[in-house]
Amino acid sequence: SRTITDEDIERLNHIPNCAAIRKYDIKWGGFNHVRAILELVLMALANQEVSFVHLLTGEDYPLLPVEELDRLFVDDDRIYMSYIEPENLPSTVTVRYRYYNWFQDKNVKNKFLWTLQNMTVKLQKLVGVFREGIGEFNRIYKGLVYISMPKEAAAYVIEYVATHEDFWNDLYRCQ
């Protein structure tokens, strides 16, 4: 919600095992958020000491000391992620991938843009646009961005996105 300064980046990068970048202009709900997360995951994967990747918000606070967290995850091969089954998704969620979004990385909290995007969805419905899924996936789950996963799972995500252009392009046009 605020601009990250050069001083902020420098301060963060002085914290052991912390790497910060300021490359993307991220808007709420914007695709640059996905780009930034994937770039940070790539940075983590480049570190040979990383065995588990945790995606956290700036408001998350670890409840255990780092050493205890390390001990818990060092030999863990599970992915920790909250999700909702496709049959339980409300229409307010399915609309996000069934219809194209033309305002990536714009401030959709702006009432005018929000109204305009909703009008484009109505127009798409009128002309019969209806996407079943994202890329080759037709069974879409809703999950949180914030997840903990083994390095191998994170590497698979990076490899998949890099080699499946249809998926990436469909994801880009989601709302």
| Angular region, 2: left φ>0, alpha ψ -120 to 50, beta rest | beta
- Find where tokens 């570190």 sit: 47
DSSP string of 98-124, one letter each residue: HS--S-TTS-TTSHHHHHHHHHHHHHH
Dist. CA 26–CA 107, nearest whole Å: 9
pLDDT at 28: 78
Series of mean pLDDT values for 10-residue runs along the chain (175 residues): 83 86 86 92 93 85 85 90 93 91 86 92 95 93 90 96 94 88
- pTM for the predicted model, two decimal places: 0.86
pLDDT at 129: 94
C-alpha Rg value of the chain to the nearest Å:
18
pLDDT at 1: 53
CA distances from 112 to 63, 96, 108, 166 (A): 41, 18, 8, 30
pLDDT at 63: 86
Dihedral of alpha carbons 60, 81, 71, 8, sign: negative
Using a 10 angstrom Cβ sphere, with 0-12 exposed, 13-18 middle and 19 or more buried, the burial of residue 149 is: buried
